[in-house]
Chains A and B, each alone.
Chain A
Amino acid sequence: MSIKKRIYLDYAATTPADPRVVKAMTPYFTNKFGNTASLHSFGMEAKEAVDKSRKIIADAIKASAKDIYFTSSATESNNLALKGLAWANPDKKHIIVSSVEHDCVLTSAAWLEREGWKLTLLPVDKNGMVSPDAVKKAIRPDTLVVSVMHANNEIGTINSIGEIGKICRERGIYFHTDAAQTFGKLPIDVNRLNIDLLTASAHKMYGPKGAAMLYVRTGVKIKPLLHGGGHENGLRSSTVNAPAIVGFAESVKICLQEMKQENRRLIKLRDKLIKGILKNIPDSYLNGHPAKRLPNNANFRFAYIEGEAIIMQLDALNIAASTASACSSPKLQPSHVLLACGMRPQDAHGSLRLTLGRWTTEREIGQVLKILPGVVEKLRKMSPFK
């Protein structure tokens, strides 16, 4: 069986921009191209658009607009959060992050460790969940910040960030969460969840690449990574990317409006996919939490075969998916997330992530369910293990 139209099931990597988003952005490339720092009318209209966008994004997480700082990527936001806090609070030398964070958090934390900070990596259970108790135990008198992602990008497990936030607040410790996979997809209230810093990115939610933000609660002491013209209240110098920010806000608006019904739709499709695969493919397993997982995430392990081979077979059949196998990574190391869940390296090689999104249809899920068993069978025929 072959499919004519390509099927995209890698929405956790990036999403296409919604045409409504592109439409909202377009004038800010051409007619309203001004620099937000300029005093003339061109600058003014760009600045007004960015201010309006800031308000929309702040409202989405029940924050104050002045606490939203635009950046270029979630990676930049996470670097700014950890390094910025560390530099501004030199008397607090201890940092806590979970062991399943995105590489940009883990490597920023590791860099700080080499620079003299103390680092605790929080363990996770077999589903990839951080236990609030582990956070409690890891906290020391000199702990500066706890950084735990809202939901994991690989296996989709959703953490109890409200509980973790509460623990941090009670002890006067900053709480940062990387919400790159959840902003616009799950409701977030930074006050109710006791979040002090939050990372989000536009291209994971049908906005443009190159626009992201860091929420920093008023009163949090933080220093900039980038020095220059003093943009973003001095925390992030760089000419403001007005078109991308306008697109970011538009994508937030659409996501909030459609969140409830879209999640219902995605969960139905996701569960059809999970049930179908586990039923039709022998020796297949679900990675991540069975219930507390992102509405659009399905992650599997297939025994006896390797993940890169699976995605390249699927690619040849017009299905785009992703894997965290060692062979597919530049470092040739298996996924740190799956290993942290207690999986053996030999088992972590056969992972497949399918992430759904706004344009995923039931028909496409049906096609994947028809094609995938054959791909797994073909690779198993070649494998010495079976």
Chain B
Amino acid sequence: MYTKKTLKHFNNPKNYGKIKDPDGIGKVGNIICGDVMWLYIKVKKDKITDIKFETFGCVAAIATSSEITELAKGKTLTDALRLGKDDIIGALGGLPPVKIHCSVLAIDALAEAIFDYLTKNKLPVSEDLIKRHEVIQKHKEVIEEKYHDWTEMEEEMHEGSNG
């Protein structure tokens, strides 16, 4: 199911853990769905000098987290923002179709970390990045709402059948 490269990253992930005083943090995913990714970045002279992840999730979530840190490290912010899900999938030698969303999550986490850095430091944010940020936040809300309804429905079902 998973490629050798994916399993290699999963079994020996690179750059995991916290960065103490990060310049930017990107938090994406939802615990109810089962994938949560946090990316920490250090930025110097417009370059990502250090990057670490903390991820709750499956093999693909951990492997894509590890891969994105490798791909982004040392890149300028502009170049890092050009990374797409296909760069991660390519570097991992492919991902199962149901796990593609994990690579999207990794890309989103990076964009959010950079967005966080730029806004915190009152630096100019491109229109493109603002749009990406809005889409990610909107998606988060949609999921939270969806699962809110769903958990309520479950509760009602339980109450209904107990009564």
Contact = CB atoms under 8 A, between A and B. Distances in A.
Interface of A: 120-123, 134, 304-306, 308-309, 312-313, 316, 325-328, 330, 332, 334, 339, 342, 344-346, 349, 381-385
B98 interface: yes
Q: Please provide the 7 A-B residue pairs with the shortest distance between their CB atoms, ordered closest to farther.
A: A327-B58, A384-B54, A308-B58, A123-B161, A346-B31, A326-B34, A384-B38
A344 B35 contact: no
Nearest to A346: B31
A304 B151 contact: no
Give the one of A122, A306, A325 with max B CB within 10 A.
A306
B55 interface: yes
Interface stretch (B8-16, B85-93, B117-125, B128-136): B8-16
A120 B160 CA distance: 11
B57 interface: yes
A325 B17 contact: no
Nearest to B55: A382
Interface in B144-163: 147, 151, 154, 157-158, 161-162
B62 interface: yes
A316 B53 CA distance: 22
Contact of A383 (B56, B59, B60): B56
Contact of B35 (A122, A327, A334): A327
A224 B56 CA distance: 47
Contacts of A304: 56
B32 interface: yes
Nearest to B102: A327
6 contacts: A312-B2, A312-B10, A327-B35, A328-B58, A332-B98, A383-B54
Interface in B45-91: 53-62, 65
Given A123-B161, A327-B57, A382-B16, 16 more contacts: A123-B157, A134-B161, A306-B35, A306-B56, A306-B57, A309-B10, A309-B62, A312-B10, A327-B34, A332-B98, A349-B31, A382-B17, A382-B54, A382-B62, A383-B55, A385-B31
Contacts of B60: 327
Contacts of A384: 27, 36, 38, 54-56
Most buried by A among B36, B62, B151: B62
Contacts of B59: 308-309, 312, 327
Interface of B: 2, 7, 10-11, 13, 16-17, 27, 31-36, 38, 53-62, 65, 98, 147, 151, 154, 157-158, 161-162
A178 B157 CA distance: 24
Contact of A346 (B13, B32, B65): B32
Contacts of B151: 344-345
A349 B33 CA distance: 9
A293 B2 CA distance: 34
B58 A345 contact: no
Contacts of A383: 54-56
Contacts of B55: 382-384
B16 A381 contact: yes
B11 to A, nearest CB: 5
A134 B7 CA distance: 46
A121 B161 contact: yes
Contact of A381 (B17, B31, B32): B17
Nearest to B56: A383
